[in-house]
Structure 1
Amino acid sequence: MNSILITGCNRGLGLGLVKALNALPQPPQHLFTTCRNREQATELQDLAKKYSNIHILEIDLRNFDAYDKLIADIEAITKDKGLNVLFNNAGVSPKSVRIGATKHQDLLDTLQTNTVVPIMMAKACLPLLKKASTANEDQPMGVGRAAIINMSSILGSIQSNVQGAMYGYRTSKAALNAATKSLSIDLQAQKIMCISLHPGWVRTDMGGSSAPLDVTTSTEQMVQTLIQMGEKHNGGFYQYDGEQLPW
């Protein structure tokens, strides 16, 4: 990978992905990381001081008018090489989970961040992804050429839902999975791989302290899984270790 853009890197899985990618024998030449508040992203800033390939881009992803500048900033660095990977990682989980406590604003906010933002980011990054795919036409479909990775969740699986509740989070991730499938069809001709990825139940602010996986284990396995994925995985829904998940 020459370049990768990861959203939501101030903490948790996004920050873990930055560390895992820089631990590779050949890290990406450019690692674009987003956060809402640069000053508060102290650990990300420390990493950027240590690794010259990390670029911190401050943006509120719900401000769609700011996307043009984000893309321009990336293009100024990657030039004719484009962007190899968009990793839509940023997400939220509402506190209200049961139907009786569900609030309409929670639903709207969650759908905007978890579904609308990744779709609009894919749209904004498409010219750069197409440029990367063309520049690497000798490479097979995959992250070494051009790809969109959407951070989903097993909670977005309709078939696996046996516990109910979590209306905002479940519906937003199920909708994201539907978007991934459409992207994989629409971008097939451009050889841009599109997949949904479940990180596992991870000990983060969102996952909670009782989760069985730590961030390092999840993110390192996700990176290794993505490196091995190709055309046969396009449009699929997978776990961090490569296991295919039911829709």
Structure 2
Amino acid sequence: MPPASTRTALIIGASRGLGLGMARELLTRGWHVVGTVRNAARRELFALADRSRGKLAVETVDINEPDQVAALRRRLNGRRFDLLFVNAGIAGDLAGTIGTIGAETFTQVMVTNALSPMRVVEALQALVPASGTIGVMSSGLGSVADNEEGGWEVYRASKAALNTMMRSFAARHAGDPRSLLLIAPGWVRTDMGGPEAPLDVETSMRGVVDTIIAQAGKPGLQYLNHDGRTLRW
């Protein structure tokens, strides 16, 4: 991986929470960052860009709109990123079960958490060179093997689907020298994680970035926790 002062990252979904925290952490380490927002009315990332001395640029894209993803790809044509990281997710109806949740909510969670992130990976992967890393924000709740308590049924299913589709992507790109990562951020105090979560965003993202950097140059797909531990599929 090149020196920190020349490293570049494209973070899809950086307007708040984990994505915004990742942008801050990478900037602190000297990276140049392009971060995306879905709604330009959310000002936190723009304010960070104003303070970044030109190291952070902001793009707007709704990943659930394929035309917008294609337009972003055209705008970034010719750019190269050491890291493409897709951070997207909604909670949906956390209390709902498969027996009670409506089809519209189920579809919304599955599209936003699984289908759209992988479509972004497919659309933007050519911007990442052979020495680069493609990462997606997963969750420990996406582990089928570790699902022994239930709860968060549709959210769990969406992250398990994301993990499976990323495995399919890796299988289709066997021999690809790039590092492919599914990262679980831990239980974090965000709008989704709630106030009782043990991790703050800064601690989680510091660990996530440490893990990403440690895995650079290691080809193949890994499913890792924010502290670098391997998670069970």
Match of 2:138 in 1: 152
CA distance in 1, matches of 2:217, 2:46: 35
Q: Which moved more, 1:119-128 or 1:15-24?
A: 119-128
Supply the AA of the counterpart residue of 1:185: A
CA contact (8 A) 2:9 2:31 kept: yes
Q: Which moved more, 1:14-23 or 1:42-51?
A: 42-51
Give the superposition deviation at 1:202: 0.1
The aligned amino acid for 1:118 is P
Choose from 50, 57, 60 the match for 1:58: 60
- Aligned pairs, how many? 226
SS at match of 1:101: coil
Q: What pairs with 1:78-157 in structure 2 (closer than 5 Å)?
A: 78=79, 82-99=80-97, 100-129=99-128, 132-133=129-130, 145-157=131-143
Task: Please give the residue correspondences for 1:228-239 in structure 2 after superposition, counting only pairs within 5 Å.
Answer: 228-230=214-216, 234-239=220-225
Structure 1 residue 66: Cα displacement: 1.3
Give the secondary-structure state (helix, strand or coil) at the position aligned to 1:86: strand
Secondary structure of 1:236 counterpart: strand
Q: Partners of 1:183 and 1:83 in 2: how far apart?
A: 19
From 208, 211, 228, the counterpart of 1:222: 208
Aligned-pair distance for 1:162? 1.4
What is the SS of the residue equivalent to 2:84? strand
Deviation of 1:233 after TM superposition, in Å, equals: 6.8
Q: Is the 8 A contact 1:156 1:174 kept in 2?
A: yes
Q: Distance in 2 between matches of 1:232 and 1:66?
A: 31
| Secondary structure of the structure 1 residue equivalent to 2:76 | helix
Unaligned runs of 5+ in 2: none
**Alpha-carbon contact 2:82-2:132 (below 8 Å) kept:** yes
Corresponding residue for 2:14? 9
- 2:226 alignment counterpart: 240
Q: Is the 8 A contact 1:181 1:195 kept in 2?
A: no
Deviations 1:27-62 (CA, angstroms, capped at 9, x unpaired):
223x1111111122x221111011112111111111
Aligned equivalents of 1:204, 1:96: Cα separation in 2: 15
Give 1:232 shift.
5.2
- Structure ranking higher in helix proportion: 1
Q: Is the 8 Å Cα contact of residues 181 and 194 (structure 1) preserved in structure 2? A: no
Identity of aligned residues (%): 33
What is residue 28 of structure 1 aligned with on the other side? 31
Q: Distance in 2 between matches of 1:153 and 1:69?
A: 29
**Offset, 1:188:** 3.8
Q: Tell me how large the CA RMSD over aligned residues is.
A: 1.7
Asked if 2 retains the 8 angstrom alpha-carbon contact of 1:106 and 1:168, the reply is no
Q: Which residue of 2 aligns with 1:142?
A: none
Residues 202-233 of structure 1: per-residue CA shift (max 9 Å, x gap):
00001111100000000011101110114657
Deviation at 1:103, TM superposition (A): 1.6
Residue identity in the other structure for 1:65: D
Which stretch shows the higher mean deviation, 168-177 or 189-198? 189-198
Map residues 31-50 of structure 1 onto 2, 5 A cutoff.
31-40=33-42, 42-50=43-51
Is there any run of 5+ residues in structure 1 with no aligned partner, and where?
A: 134-144
Distance 2:171 2:179 in 1: 9
